[in-house]
Amino acid sequence: MATVQPPRCAVLHTPAWPITAAILHEPETFGPTQPLAVFHAQRVLSCSPLAWREGVRPGQRRRQAQGACPHLVIVPFNADARMYEPLVQSIGALVPLIDVENPGSLLLATRGPSRYVGGDNALAVRLLTLASEGLSHANQGLNVDEVMTAGGGLGVGIADGRVAATLAARSSSRRGEPVVIQPGMQATADFLAPYAVKVLTAV
């Protein structure tokens, strides 16, 4: 039986969207230069890079996090999903069919868009540009680069299949540049090989 090749996908990922959304929605309360953290059930759900450098970690209890960073600023858990809409609309100008898995992460098929812009690498750069433009429209008085840094960055990954593309996008947000995995089963297998099974099944 022939093996079915997974569809070529692109994922755009913001690691800590509630933090990004809070800054966009209430810049007078939440600033990109503050150590920020989102809590759920009294544990850290996500935190800004600045809070991370102070010792805050996802999963910590509130007391532990505030002990590590006494000046930690708490971001509401129920960040407004509508703040993500300008970004989606900006991407939609290029790609009409978008799957928003949750605010902060979207997926799209690359076959048509990649051909239109000149390849996967060009598409990755275009997606980052469009996303930044969309966030700029959400709040024109803010420095988008600073906002995105406070939210853990903005990453785009392109690969065969949703799982590989998602992990590539997460890697991209940490590295600060697009991650494009070459087409083909071997390239995908090589990229996924270092990941534990529990990571792959949780994506």
Given a contact cutoff of 8 angstroms between Cβ atoms, the answer to whether 150 and 26 are in contact is: no
Residue 3 is predicted with a pLDDT of: 61
pLDDT at 1 (0 to 100): 46
Q: How many residues does the chain have?
A: 203
Structural tokens at position 139: 């709040």
pLDDT at 20: 83
What pLDDT does 68 receive?
A: 95
How distant, in Å, are the alpha carbons of 37, 91, 119, 177 from that of 22? 11, 21, 34, 24
pTM of the full predicted structure?
Answer: 0.84
| CA-to-CA dists, residue 66 to 37, 63, 141, 142, angstroms | 10, 5, 30, 27
Spell out, as residue ranges, where the chain has pLDDT lower than 50.
1
pLDDT confidence of residue 56: 94
